[in-house]
Amino acid sequence: MGGVVGGITFNDTYGNQIADGSDIHEAIFGRHIVSIDSIIEGKQEPKKEEPLAGNGVVGPQEQQTQFTQVVDAHSSTDLLSASFNRMKAKSNKTCIQSVQTAIASHWTVPRKPCSPEQYDAEEWLFTFYLGKDRYYSAHCLRFSRWHLFFASFLVQFCIGSLYSWSVFNKPIDNYVFKDPKAGYAVNAFYTAVGVFGTTTAIMGPWIERNGPRYGVVLGTTSFLLGHVIVAIGVAYKEIAAVYVGYGLFGGFGMGLCYIAPVSALQKWFPDYRGAAAGFAVAGYGAGAVAWAKVYRPCIEAVGVSSTFLVVGCAMASTMYLCAIVLRTPHLEFTVGGLNIHGEVVDEPVTVTDCEDQTTSKYQYESTASDNEIDFIISTNAQVRKLSLIDAIKSPDFLCMYLMFFANQIYGLVVLSKLSNMCTDIFGRSGDEAANIVSINGVFNCFGRLFFSLASDLVARSFNIEHAFARKCVFYTTLMLQVAIVGTTPMLIRKNQYTAFVIEIFVLTASYGGGFGTIPAFLTDMFGAFNIGAMHGLILTAWSIGGVVGGITFNNAYSRQIAAGVSISDAYVSTVNDIFVLILVGLAVLFFVRTNAMDRFESGYHFSIFGRRVISIKGKDEHPKKADPMGQII
């Protein structure tokens, strides 16, 4: 319509202007730019002036005079420029608003009540969503929350293969570049670690909105596709395909599959949050040990390229089956006298979202002890009201982020260099070094389970807030690392191999303990509905430590060797730098506030043993909170 009507109108007016003696410039810009400007300003087209007295016809001279006045007031070029500037400003404003709305929407996690159809279907272990509130359930085995323990463990076990990537370094370099020491294949690992952390940070809110099942399905698909791309890349000797396949697609898939099961377990096990998270991520540590033993025979049997196809398909099949089991509890779920937020409930809670009101079948599975009630009520009632944005902006999260980075940094360095340290510093054989690496992986797995379970036991045994119990566990892991890193240089210089290995095992256990305890710590601090996003964000500390810390360590070590420093002294110099970072982490952990009165009172307040030592009053305003459906108010 614009092409027809607008074109005809323009041509008629243009012809009339030319017939009246106007030049081409005036005919194009005189009337039409003024009209465009009026439309943009939201004004009506000016009415035509009455004909002049006389013969009632405006002649060319009078028309020229009127046009000259318009041009003198606002030249045609300026009008055109102003019009486009206004259009551009409005367009930019609209784009900015759209981006802001999209970001706010992504970082807001609405609560989705279950439909009656979903509630009935998920009573069974194997349930498939068919779309439009239609489900298919295999009525052979009823669902129990304990099934999630094994499903989560298996998913983590498969993606724990990331830590076994070093097995592929020499075979890939040898096949692609004919040089086992080329050093290119390891870049796929660094890329995967970087993408892993970025994915967990960005996709955390998406997983909270869509549930662990969709997260694992999407992650598994990307993980499988990455293995296929790597297989093709190795077959055609294209190292870039290895980076894209394992680094980008594999890293993205592993990031999703890491946080999705942990997020679900924190909601299903409010009574054993530490144990649930620890058991899940222990699978990650176990996978790192097991897959290293699987890869070598597989490479010898079918070759490097085919290994990625065989292993990738086996892992993906297992993870797809586990995805069927994973799910999120309905909003009214209670167990052990606690709801999903960890709040004590005095009476059975009924499911009001379904047509028939039904008491949760988990209501009486266990009972919270009476002496825990006061502590749970005081904190969790405030925590559940936190919006995701408020949680991210909290100074406590910043301190936890720095603390977690410090807890991981030395463990990351040791995991990547332990074999070299055994052979280069202590002169041990390659086989013995490989055995030490395998045993060290067991301690990684053990630490993830032991420290997380210990945090639950400490909270229950000493009747203290759960968040404070997790904080005490991190004090333990960091102080152990301070002692170990502080004495490692002495052991290296004195060539005390046995003592060095024992310290490394303890260090790795404390490193794994950080991974096992942090999900429960975050849930206690920021709420069950924010755990997916918060866990994803804090894992970027591990990602940064793995990429930036690893590269920094290697560069510092290489400079020392190039300067003629001995291998032992080069390691000692770098270890001393990490020692300072761990001390910083121990210091900032002190400022993580677990006291509800300090955290939720306006301003900033900090207490020690119930005595307030810092008190900064906030502005006279109500902080933003989230309503029960997750909307920021």
Mean pLDDT in each 10-residue stretch from start to end of the chain (633 residues)?
53 61 54 46 47 49 53 59 71 76 74 78 85 83 92 96 88 92 86 92 90 95 98 96 97 96 93 91 90 90 96 97 92 86 64 37 41 51 81 94 93 79 87 85 92 93 91 96 92 92 94 95 91 92 82 80 86 84 94 88 84 79 46 40
Query: Can you read off the two tokens belonging to residue 514?
Result: 């950080």
> Helix 466-493 crosses helix 273-302 at what angle (to 10 degrees)?
50
3-state secondary structure of 126: strand
What pLDDT is attached to residue 235?
A: 96
**CB-based contact 305:178 (threshold 8 Å):** no
What pLDDT is attached to residue 514?
A: 95
Cβ-based neighbours of 241, under 8 Å, separated by 6 or more: 229, 230, 232, 233, 234
Give Cα separations from 470 to 356, 399, 523 (angstroms): 40, 14, 11
Question: What HEC string does 170-212 produce?
Answer: HHHHHHHHCCCCCCCCHHHHHHHHHHHHHHHHHHHHHHHHHCH
What pLDDT is attached to residue 621?
A: 47
Query: Can you read off the two tokens belonging to residue 329?
Result: 């509890």
C-alpha to C-alpha distance for 591 and 114, rounded to whole angstroms: 39
Closest CA to 229 of 213, 246, 214, 212: 246
Q: Which CATH class is domain 151-326?
A: mainly alpha
C-alpha to C-alpha distance for 528 and 339, rounded to whole angstroms: 10
- 284-317 confidence digits (pLDDT tens): 989 988 998 899 899 999 999 999 999 999 999 9
Query: Can you read off the two tokens belonging to residue 28?
Result: 């194009």
C-alpha to C-alpha distance for 225 and 214, rounded to whole angstroms: 17
What pLDDT is attached to residue 499?
A: 95
Encoded amino acid at 239, one letter:
I
According to DSSP, the residues that pair with 134 across neighbouring strands are 131
Query: Can you read off the two tokens belonging to residue 533?
Result: 């996003």
DSSP string, 548-600: IIHHHHHHHHHHHHHTT--HHHHHHHHHHHHHHHHHHHHHHHTT----HHHHH
> Helix 147-159 crosses helix 304-325 at what angle (to 10 degrees)?
160
Cβ-based neighbour number of residue 493 at 10 Å: 12
What pLDDT is attached to residue 125?
A: 87
Give CA 616 to chain center in angstroms.
32
Closest CA to 261 of 362, 365, 162, 157: 157
According to DSSP, the residues that pair with 617 across neighbouring strands are 603
For 32-43, b/e burial (b = at least 16 CB within 10 A) is bbbebbeeeeee
What pLDDT is attached to residue 447?
A: 94
Cβ-based neighbour number of residue 94 at 10 Å: 10
C-alpha to C-alpha distance for 446 and 474, rounded to whole angstroms: 16
Q: Provide CATH code, domain 386-633.
A: 1.20.1250.20
3-state secondary structure of 396: helix
What pLDDT is attached to residue 346?
A: 61
Give Cα separations from 285 to 194, 272, 449, 509, 510 (angstroms): 19, 20, 10, 10, 13
According to DSSP, the residues that pair with 607 across neighbouring strands are 612
| Max Cα distance, the chain (Å) | 117
Closest CA to 408 of 518, 530, 244, 525: 518
Cβ-based neighbours of 121, under 8 Å, separated by 6 or more: 127, 135, 136, 137
Cα dihedral 75/81/86/87 (nearest 10): 130
3-state secondary structure of 125: strand
**CB-based contact 500:587 (threshold 8 Å):** no
C-alpha to C-alpha distance for 258 and 215, rounded to whole angstroms: 9
Cβ-based neighbours of 584, under 8 Å, separated by 6 or more: 402, 406
Same fold, 151-326 and 386-633: yes
The DSSP symbol for 115 reads P
Give Cα separations from 2 to 6, 7, 9, 428 (angstroms): 5, 7, 10, 82
Domain boundaries, the chain: 2-44+60-97, 151-326, 386-633
DSSP string, 480-529: HHHHHHHHHHHHHHTT-HHHHHHHHHHHHHHHHHHHHHHHHHHHHHH-TT
Encoded amino acid at 353, one letter:
D
Give CA 421 to chain center in angstroms.
33
What pLDDT is attached to residue 146?
A: 93
According to DSSP, the residues that pair with 334 across neighbouring strands are 339
Closest CA to 470 of 508, 522, 511: 522
Closest CA to 446 of 283, 273, 257: 283
What pLDDT is attached to residue 414?
A: 78
C-alpha to C-alpha distance for 569 and 549, rounded to whole angstroms: 19
